[in-house]
Structure 1
Amino acid sequence: MRLKLVSLLIILSGLSACSTTEKPTKTTENLSSANSTTQIQATDAQSMYQIALNRQGADKIQLLYSARDAAITEQSWPLLEQVCIELERTPSVDQVQNKLYIAFAQKQQNKNTLALEILASLDSQLTQPEHFAWHQYLTASIYASQNLPKDAMPYFFRASETASKNNLTIPQLNKGLWENLKQLSSYALERFNRGSVVQQGWVNLALYHLVYLGAPVELDQAINNWQRRYPTHPAIDVLPKKAAALIAIAPLDIERLVVLIPQSGANERLGDALKAGILGALDSSPIQETIFIDEMLSPSEITAKLSEIKPNFVIGPLLKGNIDKLVANQALQSYPTLHLNSFDGERTSTQHYFFALNPEHEVQQALEHFLAMGYQKPMLLAPNNGAGQRLVEYFNIQWQRYSETKPEVGLYDDKKDMPTTITSLLEVDKSKERISTVKSLFKQEVESETRSRRDIDVIYILGDAMETRLLKPYLDVNVSTFAERIPLYASSKSHSKQIDKTDKGDLDGLYFTELPWMLSDQISKQALRQQYNTLWPDQADISQRLFAMAYDSVAILSDITQLSMIPGKQFGGLTGQLSITSDGQINRHLNWAQYKNKQISAVQLKTHAPIPLFMQTASDQMGSE
């Protein structure tokens, strides 16, 4: 928190330095001793602001400047916005600079649409290079904060070009630009490899890091060549530390691996599935020695064993409770570790990673597909329990980032509750009531057919395999024949290789996400799958999924350092396309499949990164001007 505060102060002090309007100077001529005493006593931003409202002239402006600085120190962004709005009413204040402060305050409050509107309104007033550079930097920062690196880069480049040309210092600019640039693929970088010398210098440096990552000698030589070509480039500021870190990246050389999995107690069966996956991957791994330890031992016992073994890397544990215990005990602090579950606490080492079969990965993937298809009103069906409610909440929060509509949600308690939940959500019950009323008005028989609501354009099922097979027929019979069939989607929970052996028919047309390992025609390692089926022909679905996760946990080790350093870089595994986020979480992109003609077929579905609402609004407004 202290470092974050210092960075903010440095950034905002740079913005103040770009002002061309001098602040009033404190002198005995323009400030009475009483006023000076008041200022000394008022040390917090709110007090200074309140006092300033009762002052006039230079005294008021000076107090507002002090309140502004204090608001930044206190990170009181709503107050900073208020102070700047008050300053806006004073003609002698640098209005462009002040607008930039307001935009910054709004950005810090996640008022991205308003911040972009202010920045857009300044386009014709940016006559000074200082203003233009800060304007471009703030715009880039907004896009970067929303994980939109491609949109941010043109603004970062223009800020860097202007700062370099005019010898301006914008703290955090080079660092922010570099962090954002590293998120781009080689294809995206090539598209940016044009324009000014400054822009091409940044892009070429990023391309070198991508091409030669893991090859220290070649990377060192490439960077030396780059420095000779761009001797005064602003990237020099970030180069030494970053280059040293990246040059040091080489594939891990693991001689001794420790695996922490349940080998006793109620979860021993899960441990057996994991052990099979680990051993399967070790057949083609250069790791020389692997030791399995029961994660159900006490933290002190595990610590003692690790001290004796001195492993190069640790995989596990599986259970969240055991991860919490070992983190609290710091038993794994000194060892690079790939935990086999997620962790809710703070990551204590950059060498610690977390690999879990999180259903949230699938929910995000489905949501991005819905938005790419232009669906406006999704309906979610989920069990009324903790897991179902958590996934529905996750979907709702993410959906509201991109759409103004609110999803319909149906939570069912059990199979008896399903028909009522569906007919109520689709408003089929109301249609039946209207039909009953009409029939009561006529003696002769009235031909009728129920109608379902028309605004629902996609349905997402978050139930398990048995629940999905019960829900699908209810949906089929309750959607009006007058309306187009509503596309049905589900997560991997809906798919069971065991149940599919005898029953696929009821799910015809359903799309779902799934691990490649669980889809017979999409497995890259067919020989491994055949061997697995021979050894364990009737394994439960959970055991098969854990086998795939354990296999990937070993296979990914040779690339894990590079994956953690390059956002977006992927590893093709049995559990999906794997990448590593900045906080060490392994993210998965699964395969799509569809039930069709009593078979499961691979499908390629349209998907791309969605555009947040604040960007949609800004684009509409700029297009209408």
Structure 2
Amino acid sequence: MATATAAMLLGLAGCTTTPQDTTPVKAIQPVQVSNAELLQRAGTAIERGEFGNARQYLQQLQQRNLTNSERIEQWLVATVLALKSGQPDDAEQSLQQLQSLRDQATPSQDSRISLLRATLYGQRGEHYAAVQERVFIAPLLQGSLANSNHEAIWGQLMAMSEEELADKRAENTGSVLGQWIELALLSRHSSLSVDEQLASLARWRRQNPTHPAALQLPGSLAYLTQLANQRPERVALMLPLSGPLAASGEAIRDGFLAAYYQAIATEQPTPEVTLIDSQGVDSISQGYAEALMSGAQWVVGPVSKQEVVALEQRQDLAIPTLALNYGDPAADNEATTSANLYQFGLAPEDDAIQAANQAWADGHRRALVMIPEGSWGERIFTAFRDHWEALGGVLGETRFYTQQNDYNPDIKALLNVDDSVNRNRKMRQLLRQTTEFEPRRRQDIDWVFLVAQPQQARQIKPTLAFNFAVDLPVYATSHVYSGHNDTDHDRDLDGIRFCDLPWVLEGGPLYDQVEQNSDNGQGPYLRLYALGVDAYRLLPRLPQLQAFPNSRLEGETGVIQLDAERRVHRQSVCAIFRDGRPVLLSQE
């Protein structure tokens, strides 16, 4: 009974969410029950989210004389409880107890200890350690435990960066683990079409016929053949090709067609594309009807927020639609929005969230914020504040600034330099004598979050240094970089960290081709070219991203994932300005 309980709880421990324990702790009468029954009750309490009751049962067991096997079962259940209730340090202590008893564990108990250790690694973000543990124990597992471990290996591999996967492949050449990593890299190869990926997968399986992943394809890989068969044959591209947004629409169009012609050049199947000028129709409904009349099986567009909101309000979207902007988040839920609507854009909120994540990972906890006034700045600030505080960070102060020639008054106030000067003035008045004095900035913060265009940031960064904050790290959104090297002016940005699209920071053959074929280069619209490229590549992948929430696509706009509301989120690459040029943090 106890063994069955602990095995059942392993499935619970693998869950990354932590349910709230809302059930009051009930008084447990000291009725004499067996050790096995107490273990069973503790397991049932954990399953129900009654963590306080589970702890009481385990405390009773702690005071009893237990056999070695029962003591191991007790610590197994205690580890599951700690993992489920969001207490990784307690889980680590329980696993240490289990390690001291491991030589007395049964084979089944030994396997479960390894699985719980892997779960803890995963919760801590130590994905490679979790994969190592799971691959090692996999041959000893059977049934549902084997299947869940198989998928967990894949999930942890998908959570690793491509750079880390490449490094670990070199360390594990020829091993089962190395072959797992090769497969993960194959699945993350963003330049491969579905057909090329299928061919690479078939080749990998021929080379590794007895590998567990060859016998049972993990995760989204099993979905590739179905994706190939479901590709649209006709697509309507609905963009603003006239009017005030024409330049933006043309950039997206040219990026989309660049990916399209690249596919033709490599003999990939391509859909027939119909262009629709969203400014040349009376309404978005008319444009959508025109797309249907053309025989389109997918619509890509529109671009304006107002048009996307109009699509959100329709529940009768006849065919899948990839809007290239985001509508109203409040309206985006299963009850009001068509299941055929997907949303993908370059949301500045994603930049703010990634800046917060990067600063947190670098050990910073207390932030100052400088953001431009207006609704756009408010949106970014709200996304940043909510995410930063959810991480556990503290906001010291926020300054909403206006376009101006001198940012010194705002920055002096933000850093409390004026307070320092005023305190010294009062001290001199009290003492009635001259004192040596050097103004100081506030000491209760350890970084600055900055949202600014290049021209503004080139003034703000030196002004921060002038006000005794030369040592204060500055993290910015992608707006701080024009996208083109301008070392003479961008030296004033040295030290600023920011995250931007791989298309902008890394380039590549397709980037170079688009740059050469554009009359005046990509100019200020280069990020929209990347949006067009990824819009084309996303089409056959969206069902895969939707069916497997942990799956990702390495795109020109970043690492792409789809949330439950069918909104695309991106994780860009990060850089720091050195000598007026952005240098990838991964190369620092």
Task: Give me the TM-score of the superposition, normalised by structure 2.
Answer: 0.72
Task: Give 1:602's match in structure 2, choosing from 561, 582, 585.
Answer: 582
- Superposition map of 1:225-264 within 5 A: 226-227=208-209, 229=210, 233=212, 236=215, 238-239=216-217, 244-250=222-228, 255-261=233-239
1:570 is paired with a residue whose SS is strand
Match of 1:187 in 2: 166
Q: Which consecutive residues of structure 1, in runs of 5 or more, have no partner in the other structure?
A: 1-9, 19-44, 609-625
Show the counterpart of 1:291. Answer: 275
Partner of 2:479: 493
Q: CA separation of 1:390/1:202 partners in 2, compared to 1, >3 Å: closer, same or farther?
A: same
- Aligned-pair identity in percent equals 20
Contact 2:420 2:440 in 1 (8 A): yes
CA drift at 1:67: 6.8
Map of 2:298 onto structure 1: 313
Q: Confirm or deny that 1:589 pairs with 2:572.
A: yes
Amino acid of the structure 2 residue aligned with 1:269: P
CA distance change for structure 1 residues 355 and 226 in 2, over 3 Å: closer, same or farther? same
Any conservation in 2 of the 1:140–1:156 contact (CA below 8 Å)?
A: yes
2: CA distance between counterparts of 1:59 and 1:130? 22
Contact in 1 for aligned 2:573/2:584 (Cα 8 Å): no
Tell me how far apart the structure 2 counterparts of residues 414 and 468 of structure 1 sit (CA, whole Å). 13
Query: Counterparts in 2 of 1:39-118, with a 5 A limit?
Result: 50=26, 53-58=28-33, 62=37, 65-66=40-41, 68-69=43-44, 72=47, 74-92=48-66, 94-118=70-94
SS class of match (1:57):
coil
**Deviation (angstroms), 1:77:** 4.4
Counterpart for residue 411 of structure 1: 399
How far does residue 440 in structure 1 lie from its aligned partner after superposition? 2.0
Give CA-to-partner distance per residue, 1:430-484, whole Å, 9 cap, x none.
Answer: 321332134225656555331224575543312455654664454233217xxx5
Q: 1:476 to 1:119 in 2, by over 3 A?
A: same
1-structure distance, mates of 2:501, 2:236: 26
**Equivalent AA in structure 2 for residue 102 of structure 1:** A
* Alpha-carbon contact 2:208-2:214 (below 8 Å) kept: no
Output the CA distance in 2 between the equivalents of 1:332 and 1:406: 43
Q: Secondary structure at the match of 1:50?
A: coil
Change (3 A) 1:121 1:381: farther
Matches of 1:203 and 1:281, distance apart in 2: 31
Q: Is 1:431 equivalent to 2:431 in the alignment?
A: no
Q: 1:57: how far off?
A: 0.9
**Higher mean Cα deviation, 153-162 or 63-72?**
63-72
**Pair 1:223-2:205 in alignment:** yes
Is the partner of 2:346 in helix, strand or coil? Answer: coil
2:351 touches 2:499 (CA, 8 Å); kept in 1?
A: yes
Letter of the 1:278 counterpart: R
Q: Distance in 1 between matches of 2:109 and 2:453?
A: 56
Q: Which moved more, 1:308-317 or 1:207-216?
A: 207-216
Aligned residue for 1:289, secondary structure, equals strand
Residue 172 (str. 1) matches residue 157 (str. 2): no
**Shift in Å at residue 580 of structure 1?**
3.5
Contact 2:238 2:299 in 1 (8 A): yes
Q: Alpha-carbon deviation of 1:85?
A: 3.9
Larger radius of gyration between Structure 1 and Structure 2: 1
Q: Give 1:138's aligned residue.
A: 116
Residue 580 of structure 1 corresponds to 561
SS at match of 1:452: coil
- How far apart, in 2, do the equivalents of 1:303 and 1:314 lie? 8
Residues 138 and 536 of structure 1: CA distance in aligned 2, closer, same or farther (over 3 Å): closer
From 379, 390, 393, the equivalent of 1:387 is 379
Query: What TM-score, normalized to structure 1?
Result: 0.68
Q: Deviations over 1:146-200 (max 9, x none)?
A: 5542131122123323326xx8946622222233234454525625747986x56
Mapped to 2, the partners of 1:577 and 1:379 lie a distance apart of 27
- Hey, what's the Cα distance between the residues in 2 that align with 1:207 and 1:496? 32
SS in 2 for 1:157: helix
Would you say 1:355 and 2:350 are equivalent positions? no
Q: For structure 2, which runs of at least 5 residues remain unmatched after alignment?
A: 12-21, 265-270
Give the aligned residue type for 1:282: L
- Cα deviation, 1:86-134, whole Å, max 9, x if unaligned, reads 4444445823223322322332232223223322332112322222222
Q: In the alignment, residue 602 of structure 1 is paired with which amino acid?
A: P
Which stretch shows the higher mean deviation, 133-142 or 185-194?
Answer: 185-194
Aligned to 1:38: none
Q: Is the 8 A contact 1:373 1:606 kept in 2?
A: no
Work out the CA distance in 1 between the residues paired with 2:179 and 2:483. 52
SS in 2 for 1:356: coil
Distance 1:297 1:78 in 2: 62
Structure 1 distance, partners of 2:87, 2:509, is 45
Task: Indicate the larger mover: 248-257 or 446-455.
Answer: 248-257
Hey, what does 2:18 align to over in structure 1?
none
Contact 1:61 1:87 in 2 (8 A): no
Give the counterpart letter for 1:14 in structure 2: A
Distance of 1:171 and 1:77 partners within structure 2: 27
**Greater mean deviation of Cα atoms: 308-317 or 208-217:** 208-217
Once the two structures are superposed, residues 402-435 of structure 1 have per-residue CA deviations (whole angstroms, 9 ceiling, x without a partner) of xxx7453333365799756633553423321332
CA contact (8 A) 1:299 1:331 kept: no
> Could you tell me whether the CA contact under 8 Å between 2:478 and 2:500 is conserved in 1?
yes
Alignment of 1:309-348 (within 5 A): 309-319=294-304, 322-323=307-308, 326-327=311-312, 329-332=314-317, 334-335=319-320, 337=322, 339-341=324-326, 344=329, 345=332
- CA displacement at 1:390 relative to structure 2: 1.5
- Match among 456, 459, 482 for residue 448 of structure 2: 459
Q: In structure 1, how many angstroms separate the alpha carbons of the residues matched to 2:527 and 2:213?
A: 48
**Distance change >3 Å, CA 272–CA 62, structure 1 → 2:** same
Distance in 2 (CA, whole Å) between partners of 1:495 and 1:138 is: 45
Does the 8 A contact of 1:353 with 1:586 survive in 2? no
Letter in 2 for 1:423: K
Q: Could you say if the C-alpha distance between residues 413 and 142 of structure 1 is closer, same or farther in structure 2, counting changes exceeding 3 Å?
A: same
Q: Compute the displacement of 1:201 (Å).
A: 7.0
Cα separation, 2, equivalents of 1:107 and 1:160: 21
Deviation at 1:292, TM superposition (A): 1.7
Aligned-residue CA RMSD (Å): 5.1
Out of 373, 382, 388, which is 1:396 matched to?
Answer: 388
Bigger drift between 518-527 and 429-438 goes to 518-527
Partner of 1:14: 7
**Cα offset, 1:603, TM superposition:** 2.4
State the Cα distance separating 1:329 from its structure 2 match: 3.4
Corresponding residue of 2:437? 448
2:16 matched residue in structure 1: none
CA contact (8 A) 1:251 1:558 kept: no
Q: Secondary structure in 1 aligned to 2:151?
A: helix
Shift of 1:68: 4.2
- Would the aligned equivalents of 2:43 and 2:54 in 1 still touch at CA under 8 Å? yes
The amino acid of 2:398's aligned partner reads G
Q: 1:116 to 1:359 in 2, by over 3 A?
A: farther
Q: 2: CA distance between counterparts of 1:116 and 1:260?
A: 54
Q: What SS does the corresponding residue of 1:239 show, helix, strand or coil?
A: coil
TM superposition shift of 1:80: 3.9
* Partner residue, 1:274: 249
Distance 2:220 2:495 in 1: 50
User: Partner of 1:553 in structure 2?
Assistant: 535
Distance 1:312 1:275, change over 3 A: farther
